[in-house]
């Protein structure tokens, strides 16, 4: 049996929709039928060769939800179960795995990077990467519960959390990370400030009901008029980094998630030392933050925002993301 897949033949090449053989069930793995697979900027960086450890030929994609195909009583999964997934497998034995930080496991393997990913119809996953759902979750939300929602929660938690009444600024607010970061900060009771580049994007951002929207690249001055912020969720990277740093209150925290152009930043150390500001990195999500993503969904505080496209329109989806035309996440339907 053949299935359609976004196949990368070698690093640096553009992947293409290709007919590949459906995966055959094997011990220690669970077969899923993909319901939704979201497009992440990491997919683009992967095929461009930014992660030289990626193994080709490779099916791209790591943000997905699916239905269990077959019965796996040894792992507690049955045919038809809908599951959420972590974007990687992990060893379960190292210092990181044993302390709930499996996202940092050095023996971790990413779907769509080391092993075949989800931009296709069927995938094999490790039982440790999936979580069974006991409620109905919108497949779009389920696909980004880990790499997007869980990742943002992980970043906020690492940076000491958000308290009710904190001011939180989100850059790249119309993007897949930004639009959901606004919702998460709001769910935690923050006053939210969205930054974007155009009026047209600002209109779209209203879907996440931020308290303020600032349009333009020089936003720090405007943010200072609002008193500065306790936290910035930096979903763009180098282009907005310095304005973000200058938007922080003294003692503020910046969570860096996006790295769109993979460029070095110019860091004025005085802004860190003399104002006691902190910068935090964040890498993916864990089972713990995935659980929190489900909890916030149950409470009705979060929803997936973006556009649905067909898996076979992968090329168009990439163009939309790269040209800045996409709004929110792009959810690919096989």
* Least separation in angstroms between CB 148 and Zn ion: 7
Listing DSSP states for 21-50 in one string gives: EPPPP-TT-EEEEEEEEEE-HHHHHHHHTS
Q: What are the Cα distances from residue 256, in Å, to 3, 220, 259?
A: 37, 17, 8
Q: Which two tokens stand for residue 224?
A: 């200072």
For residue 307, the surrounding DSSP H or E stretch is strand 306-310
Between 80 and 92, CB nearer to Zn ion: 92
Using DSSP's 3-state secondary structure scheme, residue 157 falls into helix
Residues of the shown chain interacting with Zn ion in the complex, contacts defined by CB under 5 A: 40, 42, 63, 90-91, 94, 97, 105, 147
Closest CA to 245 of 143, 202, 236: 236
* Least separation in angstroms between CB 204 and Zn ion: 21
Between 146 and 183, CB nearer to Zn ion: 146
| Positive or negative torsion for Cα 102, 72, 4, 139 | negative
Between 63 and 121, CB nearer to Zn ion: 63
The residues, ordered by sequence, that sit 6+ positions from 203 with a Cβ below 8 Å of its Cβ are none
Between 81 and 102, CB nearer to Zn ion: 102
* Least separation in angstroms between CB 87 and Zn ion: 6
Between 137 and 144, CB nearer to Zn ion: 144
* Least separation in angstroms between CB 171 and Zn ion: 18
Beta carbons within 10 angstroms of residue 103's beta carbon: 24
* Least separation in angstroms between CB 195 and Zn ion: 21
């Amino acid at each position: 049996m053949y299935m359609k897949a976004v196949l990368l033949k070698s690093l640096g090449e553009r992947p293409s929709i290709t007919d590949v053989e459906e995966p055959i069930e094997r011990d220690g793995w669970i077969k899923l039928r993909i319901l939704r697979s979201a497009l992440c900027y990491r997919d683009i960086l992967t095929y461009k060769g930014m992660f030289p450890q990626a193994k080709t030929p490779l099916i791209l994609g790591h943000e997905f939800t699916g239905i269990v195909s077959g019965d796996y009583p040894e792992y507690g999964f049955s045919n038809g179960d809908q599951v959420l997934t972590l974007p990687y497998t992990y060893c379960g034995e190292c210092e990181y795995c044993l302390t709930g930080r499996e996202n940092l496991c050095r023996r971790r393997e990413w779907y769509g990077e080391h092993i075949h990913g989800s931009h296709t119809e069927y995938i094999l996953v490790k039982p440790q990467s999936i979580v069974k759902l006991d409620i109905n979750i919108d497949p779009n939300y389920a696909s980004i519960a880990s790499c997007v929602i869980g990742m943002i929660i992980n970043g906020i938690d690492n940076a000491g959390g958000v308290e009710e009444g904190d001011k939180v600024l989100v850059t790249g607010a119309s993007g897949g990370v930004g639009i959901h970061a606004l919702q998460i900060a709001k769910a935690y009771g923050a006053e939210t400030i969205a930054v974007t580049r155009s009026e047209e994007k600002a209109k779209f951002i209203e879907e996440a009901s931020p308290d303020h929207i600032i349009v333009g690249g020089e936003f720090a001055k405007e943010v200072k008029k609002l008193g500065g912020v306790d936290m910035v969720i930096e979903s763009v990277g180098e282009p907005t980094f310095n304005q973000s740093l200058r938007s922080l209150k003294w003692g503020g925290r910046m969570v860096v998630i996006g790295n769109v152009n993979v460029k070095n930043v110019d860091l004025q150390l005085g802004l860190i030392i003399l104002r006691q500001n902190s910068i935090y990195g964040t890498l993916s999500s864990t089972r713990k933050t995935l659980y929190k993503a489900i909890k916030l969904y149950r409470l009705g505080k979060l929803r997936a925002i973006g556009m649905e496209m067909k898996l076979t329109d992968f090329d168009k989806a990439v163009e939309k993301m790269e040209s800045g035309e996409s709004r929110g996440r792009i959810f690919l339907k096989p």
